[in-house]
Amino acid sequence: MKRHSLTATALAAGMVMFAGGAVAHEPGALAGTPVCTESNLMAADAQNFPFANTGVNAAAGSPGRVLEMNITTGERGITVNRPFAPEYLNTPICDNGGVTCDLGVGPFGDGSAPWKPTGVLSGGENGHAFITSAAQHAITEFHRNGTPIRTAPTLPTSPSPNGGGFGWVPRLLGSGFMPNGNVAQAVCDANFFNASNSDPMGPGESGKNYNAPPGVDVVASNNSSYLYFPPVYSTPERGGNGRILVYDQTTLEVIDEYNKPTTGPYANDPRWTCPAGVIFTSEGMYVSFFHGDAVFVVDWKAGIDPQSYGTGANKPGNFVLGKEHNEAKVLRVIDLSNCGEDGCPGDALEYDDSDTGYDSPNRRDNLRAIRMSEDGTLWGTRRSRSRECLRGEAPMADVPDPSGNPPCNPSVFRQHIFAAGPGEDHRTGSIALDPGVNVIAGVTINRMSGPGCAYVQAEVLANGGTLTGDECDVETLYAGASAANPGCDPDGDGNPGPGHPANQCFRPGGAILEYRIDAAHMDGGNGKPCTGDPADGFDTGEGNEGCALPIAVFEFVAQGDGTDEDTSGLPDGVVETIDPRMVMTIHEAFVQ
Q: What is the pLDDT of residue 459?
A: 94
- Environment class of 56 (CB within 10 Å of its CB; exposed 0-12, middle 13-18, buried 19+): middle
CB 72 within 8 Å of CB 447: no
Q: Give the H/E segment covering residue 192.
A: strand 191-192
Say if CB 526 and CB 549 are below 8 A apart: no
299 domain residue, yes or no: yes
What pLDDT is attached to residue 590? 41
Q: What is the average pLDDT score of the chain? A: 81
Q: How far apart are CA 390 and CA 408, in angstroms?
A: 9
- Mean per-residue pLDDT, 466-492: 86
List pLDDT tens digits, range 271-285: 999 999 999 999 999
Its pTM surpasses 0.75: yes
> Do 377 and 422 contact (CB within 8 A), yes or no?
yes
Closest C-alpha to 60, from 25, 112, 95: 112
Residue 79 lies in a domain: yes
Q: What confidence tier does 50 reach under pLDDT thresholds 50, 70, 90?
A: confident
What pairs with residue 398 in β-bridges? 206
**Which CATH number fits the domain that encloses residue 430?**
2.120.10.30
Q: What DSSP assignment string belongs to 327-363?
A: B--EEEEEE-S---TT-STT---S-SS-SSSTT-TTT
Q: For residues 37 and 524, give the distance between their C-alpha atoms in angstroms, rounded to a whole number.
A: 34
pLDDT of 444: 93
Whether residue 5 is predicted with pLDDT greater than 50 in this model: the reply is: no
Answer yes or no: are the C-beta atoms of 204 and 193 closer than 8 Å.
no
Q: Is residue 169, in this structure, part of any structural domain at all? A: yes
Cα(294)–Cα(112) distance, rounded to whole angstroms? 38
Residue-wise pLDDT tens digits, 94-123? 987 788 888 776 666 677 788 889 999 988
Q: What is the pLDDT of residues 316-328, one digit of tens each?
A: 778 899 999 999 9
Exposure on the CB side of residue 409, measured as CA atoms within 13 A: 14
- SS3 label, residue 138: strand
pLDDT at 23: 31
The residues with which 295 forms a beta bridge, in sequence order, are 288, 334
For residue 462, give the 3-state DSSP assignment.
helix
pLDDT in tens, 333-361: 999 988 777 777 777 655 454 445 567 78
> What's the CA gap between 286 and 269, in Å, rounded?
16
- Note down the domain range covering 553: 6-23+30-585
Q: How far is the C-alpha of 177 from the C-alpha of 109, rounded, in Å?
A: 36
pLDDT of 527 above 80: no
Please report which helix (H) or strand (E) contains residue 460, including its range. Answer: helix 450-462
Residue 1 lies in a domain: no
User: Considering the domain boundaries, does residue 590 fall inside one?
Assistant: no
Out of 80-84, 273-277, 472-476, the most confident range is 273-277
Please report whether residue 592 resides in a domain: no
Note the pLDDT of residue 396: 92
pLDDT at 1: 31
Residue type at 304 in one-letter notation: I
Q: Classify strands 206-208 and 220-221 as parallel, antiparallel or unpaired.
A: antiparallel
d(CA 102, CA 91): 13
Q: Which segments of 238-353 are extended strands (E)?
A: 243-247, 254-258, 275-280, 285-289, 294-298, 330-335
Is the pLDDT assigned to residue 429 strictly greater than 80?
Answer: yes
32: left (phi over 0), alpha (psi -120 to 50) or beta: left
Beta-carbon count within 10 A of 118 CB:
27
Kindly report, residue by residue over 131-168, the tens digit of the pLDDT.
Answer: 999 888 899 999 878 899 999 988 888 876 666 677 78
Alpha carbon distance 140, 125 (integer Å): 15
The answer to the question of residue 147 being in a domain is yes
Total domain count for the chain? 1
- Residue 591 forms part of a structural domain: no
> Reduced to 3 states, what is the DSSP secondary structure of residue 412?
helix
